[in-house]
């Protein structure tokens, strides 16, 4: 199990520090998701894979993650 200290950024995203307000917000959200107890390890691993697939666009990784974990709505 991977844990992060408060204020730490997943090593996959370290190169994006200082990229601007949106990037910082996305990094903060991703950090909270990965550090928090709200998701299964399987879902967190999925987010990590998406980060690896979109290293320069964490917002895309986060968006794809949210689509994958959202509850399915009845049609």
pLDDT at 49: 92
SS3 content of the chain, % helix, strand, coil (to 5): 60, 0, 40
Tokens of 60: 């895309």
Q: What was the pLDDT predicted at 4?
A: 44
pLDDT of the chain, 75 residues: tens digit per residue: 344 443 445 665 666 666 667 777 888 899 899 999 988 999 999 999 998 898 888 899 999 999 998 876 655
Q: What is the pTM of this model?
A: 0.69
Domain ranges of the chain: 14-69
- Which residue is associated with the tokens 């199990």? 1
pLDDT at site 3:
43
């Amino acid at each position: 199990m991977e844990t992060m200290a408060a204020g730490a950024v997943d090593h996959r995203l370290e190169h994006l520090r200082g990229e601007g307000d949106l990037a910082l917000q996305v990094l903060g959200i991703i950090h909270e998701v990965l550090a928090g107890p709200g998701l299964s390890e399987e879902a967190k691993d999925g987010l990590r894979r998406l980060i690896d697939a979109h290293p320069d666009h964490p917002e895309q990784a986060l968006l794809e993650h949210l689509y994958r974990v959202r509850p399915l709505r009845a049609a």
